């Protein structure tokens, strides 16, 4: 207890805890103000780039397939570009990428629809770096390109035949090439995470 002769300085020295309590009771910073700098998703410019890449892949893919059908109308028709190395072949793939799992066009059409939605959702959540936007744009354009074929024709038109002599790679198209490139980029970003932050948006 403080006696009559106790000075105000002594009172302050005897009650240090109360001074600290007053400071601790200060009003907290609102949550919204503390998260002002948090990334809120891709900017409009990043969405435009994402859409432009996807549309570019889609247009090139569909135009190349129209050219193929006009030039080589029958399945199996072949045009040699570089002997034993590169040919243009009218292929009809009713399976997955590079002809895997044939006779599954309808199933892969449904899967492709789901994949298209997931790509857009993933870009909304993770499309911060330029490389991520490029990869997902390529993936989206390729997925839609092959999806249109499956919905319209019941199969995917393939036409690029590469190899050396009798050793041939799977016949593929522009959409397949875009999808494969996207997968490689995504794998690289998974191995080296900082690549996904290149040109960070916001």
Catalytic residues, by residue number, are: 158, 176
**What's the sign of the alpha-carbon dihedral 93, 94, 98, 99?**
negative
CB atoms within 10 A of CB 180: 16
- As a whole number of angstroms, the distance between CA 36 and CA 34 comes to 6
Q: Which residues pair with 89 in a beta bridge?
A: 78
- Name which of 159, 153, 155 is nearest 65 in CA terms: 159
**Chain centroid offset of residue 16 CA:** 57
Cα angle 62, 66, 71 (rounded to 5 degrees) comes to: 145
């Amino acid at each position: 207890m403080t006696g009559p002769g106790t000075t105000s300085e002594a009172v302050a020295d005897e009650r240090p805890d109360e001074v600290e309590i007053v400071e601790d009771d200060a009003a907290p910073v609102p949550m919204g103000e503390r998260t002002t700098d948090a990334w809120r998703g891709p900017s409009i410019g990043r969405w435009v780039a994402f859409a432009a890449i996807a549309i570019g892949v889609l247009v090139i893919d569909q135009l190349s397939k129209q050219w193929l059908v006009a030039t080589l109308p029958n399945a199996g028709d072949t045009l040699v570009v570089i002997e034993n190395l590169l040919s243009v072949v009218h292929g009809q793939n009713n399976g997955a990428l590079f002809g895997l799992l044939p006779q599954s066009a309808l199933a892969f059409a449904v899967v492709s629809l789901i994949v298209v939605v997931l790509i857009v959702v993933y870009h909304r959540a993770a499309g911060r770096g330029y490389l991520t936007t490029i990869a997902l744009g390529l993936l989206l354009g390729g997925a839609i390109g092959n999806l249109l074929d499956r919905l319209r024709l019941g199969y995917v038109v393939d036409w690029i035949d590469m190899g050396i002599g009798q050793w041939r790679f799977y016949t593929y198209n522009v959409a397949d090439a875009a999808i494969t490139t996207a997968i490689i980029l995504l794998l690289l970003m998974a191995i080296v995470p900082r690549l996904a932050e290149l040109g960070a948006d916001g």
